[in-house]
Amino acid sequence: MTLQNTNNWLYDEVIDTKETEIIEENVYVDEDFIKNKSLIRMDLNLIQYPIFSKNTKRKENQIVKYFFNKNKDTFITVIPSAGNYIPGETEEKVFIALMKIMKQRGMPRKFLVTSKELKEELNLNTGRYIALVKDALLRLSSTTYNFKNTMYSSEKKTVLSEEVQTAIMSLRILRLEDKNNIKIKKEINDNRVKEVYEICISDQFYNNIVTKGYLVYNSDILLSIDTSTARTIYMLIEKLRFNELYLKIDTLFLIKRIPLKYSKSHMSRTIKILENNLQELKEKNLIESFSFLKETTWEKSEIEIRFNEQTMNEKQERFFDDLNDFKKISTSLAISNTEHGLLVVSDEGESTFEATKEMIENIFNILPVIAKKLKSMPKTIADNIERYGFEKVMKVAIYLSKQKNLKSPRAYFLKALENNWAEDIVLQSKILEKENIEIVEVVEEDKTLQNYEKELNYYNSLSEDDKNNLEDKVYRAYILECGEETKIQKLAFGAAKRKLIGEYISKNQLMKEEGIIENTDQKLEKGQNILTDINLFNEYISKSIDIYKIVLDLSDEKIMGLKREILLKLSGKFILNNLTIEDIDKTIAEKLK
């Protein structure tokens, strides 16, 4: 019903509309289906920036602005509501508990929670928990964050250059005595509960949490860390170390990212705070050891941190447990693009591929020895067969078996799957009649042999006996690298034999011994058509970026991130043997715009 004023007459206009249609969708996933209820996804912006203050003497109406470069065009401004102060340690813990409850609810952007639930998750023993929780929720929802050149967007896969203003979440307080909330009151069925909080995570943070802008942490571990500073250090170094067991970081960088009070007069006190918090992480077995490397001043010092190998396995397991849980959740939420890649589901919501024991064993047998030592590999293979299919995973296993000096085989395996590094390998299925099992023949496309044209010409010039002797050496070297000699290995060797022979001749400089090649070293020059040496590839990128580091005053974290992005972007071209120096220069220039 609307009112219109026509010719100074006021009259009712009746609009005939169709009956309102209400569609209800159940997006709740029974928590019994979730394997690890403690795993949560944390937005990358919350990890690497000072979203929660470490200052215990915060003041009302105090706005804090954090700058991340000399030009002061890269910053975050934290603005509390009138009469309030910015979020700190309590709000951080409450947010972690909210992420855990959101996971249990099935990852909805909007969900209901009570003070009692948060009390249990936070293990609060005070009778003031209702007021404490409510104040923290109000502070979380009313604080505004302005991001300039700092907000990472999973949708655009980059840091946004425009200024973004957002809260972490919004809040509605629902009084259960209100007749409109009778249904909620019946579901809670606890007369002691007077209020329910409706939480709605803001778009920027929620989109990152459910897609690519997140890391997985165990919420119980985060909440068990005694101090906010130690918790921040743990989350930050887990991000920075990626898949490594060693991390060296500038002391000043860590101080400013936490952030802690920094001045020359207070430096020794700040170092002592860092030391105490790192010691807490060590005592909780979250790091193995740490040491300060100081040659001159504390401002120029570094911190060396080492991690137990067990923590690396646990980190990998967190991601895959979370992925398995998210498969169940994502069907209801219609979310498919997670950090782990595209989930392939049928109309019924189940994976379109099924991993059999034979498939897993066939792929596992091809992997290099270092990968076979990981207890998580069979499960990793099974999960990825269900996601990508048997053929793609088999290609990557074969590709992995030929890599040298693997330090993190599982992480490399996943990256190869995600980036299609093995797409030039062609598989042809065959059935062995006697054993009635499917195995795979590998056929390399002719273009992959072009780099070994001289080596193969040399091979063809040998006598039959010499050819057979050389082939036997190549086969033995291949089996030694694989770690096992099975029918799969024999078949794979037969299909890729010419390429393996070319690689063997080149690696062992057999042509040089015969006086055919004077120098097999590759020289790096502008205008060079193809770059095929992995060491030169890495070296050229490092040296090029290091020049920009000096000119543009880039942080070590920025340099590390740039190198990783450039390597990932160009790896596909390198593997396909069509990467040029000009490609590298162009990519570096694009990333530094």
pLDDT in tens, 534-570: 667 677 777 677 666 555 666 767 777 777 777 777 7
pLDDT in tens, 83-107: 899 999 999 999 999 999 998 888 8
Q: Of 463, 369, 422, 350, which is closest to residue 575 (Cα–Cα)?
A: 422
| Paired residues of 3 in beta bridges | 12
Using an 8 Å Cβ cutoff, are 480 and 472 in contact?
no
214: three-class secondary structure by DSSP: strand
89-105 vs 228-240: helix axis angle to the nearest 10?
60
In this prediction, what percent of the chain has a pLDDT beyond 70? 73
The pLDDT of 436-458, averaged and rounded, is: 54
**Count of CB atoms situated within 10 Å of the CB of 102:** 21
Angle, CA 384 vertex, CA 382 and CA 389 arms, to 5°: 100
**Count of CB atoms situated within 10 Å of the CB of 15:** 6
Structure tokens at 149: 């050149």
Instruction: Report which secondary-structure segment, H or E, holds 281.
Output: helix 267-283
Using an 8 Å Cβ cutoff, are 205 and 229 in contact?
no
Instruction: Report which secondary-structure segment, H or E, holds 23.
Output: none
Q: How far from each other are the two terminal CA atoms of the chain, in whole angstroms?
A: 55
Beta strand residue intervals within 502-588, DSSP E? none
pLDDT tier at 261 (50, 70, 90 boundaries)? confident
The whole-model pTM stands at 0.53
Tell me whether residue 453 is exposed, middle or buried, using C-beta atoms within 10 angstroms of its C-beta: 0 to 12, 13 to 18, 19 or more. Answer: exposed
* Interatomic CA distance for residues 213 and 374, integer angstroms: 27
* Interatomic CA distance for residues 520 and 511, integer angstroms: 9
Structure confidence at residue 391 (pLDDT): 79
Structure confidence at residue 17 (pLDDT): 38
Helices (H) and strands (E) in the chain — how many of each?
Answer: 23, 20
* Interatomic CA distance for residues 356 and 377, integer angstroms: 15
Instruction: Report which secondary-structure segment, H or E, holds 198.
Output: strand 195-201
Using an 8 Å Cβ cutoff, are 280 and 228 in contact?
no
Q: Of 494, 504, 491, 493, which is closest to residue 452 (Cα–Cα)?
A: 504
Q: What is the DSSP letter of 340?
A: T
Q: Is the per-residue pLDDT at 521 higher than 50?
A: no
Q: Is the per-residue pLDDT at 73 higher than 80?
A: yes
Token match 């060296």: residue?
Answer: 248
> Dihedral angle at the C-alpha atoms of 49, 50, 52, 58, nearest 10 degrees?
-170
309-333 vs 377-388: helix axis angle to the nearest 10?
30
Who has greater pLDDT, 128 or 521?
A: 128
Using an 8 Å Cβ cutoff, are 141 and 67 in contact?
no
Structure confidence at residue 312 (pLDDT): 78
Who has greater pLDDT, 137 or 74?
A: 137
CB neighbours of 99 closer than 8 A, spacing ≥ 6? 40, 41, 42, 209, 219
Q: Of 291, 284, 282, 222, which is closest to residue 251 (Cα–Cα)?
A: 291
According to the per-residue pLDDT averaged within each range, which of 189-203, 366-380, 389-403 is highest? 189-203
* Interatomic CA distance for residues 71 and 256, integer angstroms: 17
3-state helix, strand, coil in the chain (%, to 5): 50, 15, 35
Amino acid at site 104 = Q
Q: What is the mean pLDDT of the chain?
A: 76
Please tell me the least confidently modeled range out of 212-216, 401-405, 556-560.
556-560
Which DSSP string do the residues of 75-88 spell out, in sequence order?
EEEEEPPTT-----
Structure tokens at 123: 């293990």
pLDDT in tens, 480-492: 666 556 655 666 6
* Interatomic CA distance for residues 216 and 36, integer angstroms: 12
Structure confidence at residue 107 (pLDDT): 86
260: three-class secondary structure by DSSP: coil
Q: What's the 3-state SS for 144-174?
A: EEEEECCCEECCCCEECCCEEEECCEEEEEE
Which DSSP string do the residues of 344-367 spell out, in sequence order?
-B-TTSSBS----HHHHHHHHHHS
Using an 8 Å Cβ cutoff, are 591 and 552 in contact?
no
- Cα 374 to the center of its chain, rounded Å: 20
Using an 8 Å Cβ cutoff, are 417 and 384 in contact?
yes
Using an 8 Å Cβ cutoff, are 397 and 384 in contact?
no
Side-chain-side CA neighbours of residue 322 (13 Å): 26
